[in-house]
């Protein structure tokens, strides 16, 4: 009887947590309260709560936090060093004549960059470069945002930072071998789906509306901005962390 009551209370508390999240509550506070509440409902001894619920998980998550920090920094390095803008500029040159090809290239460039880059900061930094390119060739705003977002998600199967976050739930998993085969295949499948989405909406691409699209979001056309000249060999930098993780781990 007691176990049944505990199970019901756990379900009620979980439903309350979902409601709290939907209402826009702070996830960190929500998880903290849930950890305490579930420990009480589960009648877990205080010493085990301190050790197993709070201390050990925080220590074990330390390496993952390092991955997140360096992944975010790497994204900023790609932007500040001029590598990401240079790749984008090469894409933009094609877009002036062939908007659809430019859109597909932006999809591939986004996937290339986010094989190693990670974090909200990286998404914003790359987005302010690539989204105006899509808009400047006439891709509608809603389609441009959808294509860009899905292109970020595709390489996450191979992203070392995200992999190490998920690895917390699968401690014996290895970044290599069968997983890389699966990750590469999944990434290709999602990229193909994104390209198909763009192709199905190709009639909505109207270069004559490029200035209108850019004006609405307050973006510049990029003609007055100066992009650093980068050697083509630098374009492989985004995949270097993945290769190093595969070869030297």
Q: Where are the domains of the chain?
A: 2-60, 63-248
- pLDDT value for 222: 46
- Arithmetic mean of pLDDT, 23-34: 86
- Arithmetic mean of pLDDT, 174-185: 87
- Cα 248–chain centre separation: 24
Q: What is the residue-wise DSSP string for 17-40?
A: HHHHHHTT--HHHHHHHHHHHHHH
**pLDDT-wise least confident of 2-11, 39-48, 176-185, 226-235:** 226-235
Q: Within 13 Å, how many C-alpha atoms sit on residue 208's CB side?
A: 2
Separation between Cα atoms, residue 243 and residue 67, nearest integer Å: 15
- pLDDT value for 154: 93
Separation between Cα atoms, residue 180 and residue 105, nearest integer Å: 23
Q: What is the pLDDT of residues 152-174, one digit of tens each?
A: 999 999 888 888 878 877 778 88
- pLDDT value for 182: 92
Mean pLDDT of the chain: 79
* Residue 86 near residue 228, CB atoms below 8 Å: yes
- Arithmetic mean of pLDDT, 123-145: 82
* Residue 134 near residue 225, CB atoms below 8 Å: no
Nearest to 161 by CA among 61, 62, 68, 59: 68
**pLDDT-wise least confident of 8-17, 65-74, 115-124:** 65-74
Q: Which residue has the higher pLDDT, 85 or 249?
A: 85
Query: Residue 224: which pLDDT band, with cuts at 50, 70 and 90?
Result: very low
Separation between Cα atoms, residue 194 and residue 192, nearest integer Å: 5
- Arithmetic mean of pLDDT, 12-41: 87
């Amino acid at each position: 009887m007691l176990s049944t009551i505990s199970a019901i209370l756990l379900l009620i508390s979980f439903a309350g947590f979902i409601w709290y999240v939907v209402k826009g509550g702070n996830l960190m506070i929500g998880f903290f309260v849930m950890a305490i509440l579930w420990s009480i409902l589960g009648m877990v001894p205080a010493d085990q709560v301190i050790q197993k619920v709070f201390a050990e998980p925080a220590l074990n998550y330390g390496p993952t936090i390092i991955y997140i920090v360096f992944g975010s920094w790497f994204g900023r390095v790609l932007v500040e060093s001029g590598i990401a803008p240079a790749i984008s500029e090469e894409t933009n040159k094609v877009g002036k004549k062939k908007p659809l090809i430019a859109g597909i290239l932006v999809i591939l460039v986004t996937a290339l960059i986010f094989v190693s880059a990670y974090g909200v900061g990286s998404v914003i930094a790359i987005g302010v470069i690539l989204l105006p390119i899509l808009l400047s060739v006439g891709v509608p705003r809603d389609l441009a945002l959808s294509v860009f977002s899905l292109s970020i998600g595709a390489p996450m199967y191979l992203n070392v930072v995200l992999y190490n976050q998920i690895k917390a739930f699968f401690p014996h998993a290895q970044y290599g071998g069968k997983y890389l085969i699966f990750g590469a295949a999944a990434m290709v499948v999602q990229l193909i789906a994104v390209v198909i989405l763009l192709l199905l909406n190709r009639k909505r691409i109207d270069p004559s509306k490029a200035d209108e699209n850019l004006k609405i979001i307050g973006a510049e056309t990029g003609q007055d901005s100066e992009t650093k000249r980068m050697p083509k060999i630098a374009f492989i930098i985004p995949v270097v962390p993945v290769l190093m993780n595969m070869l030297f781990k």
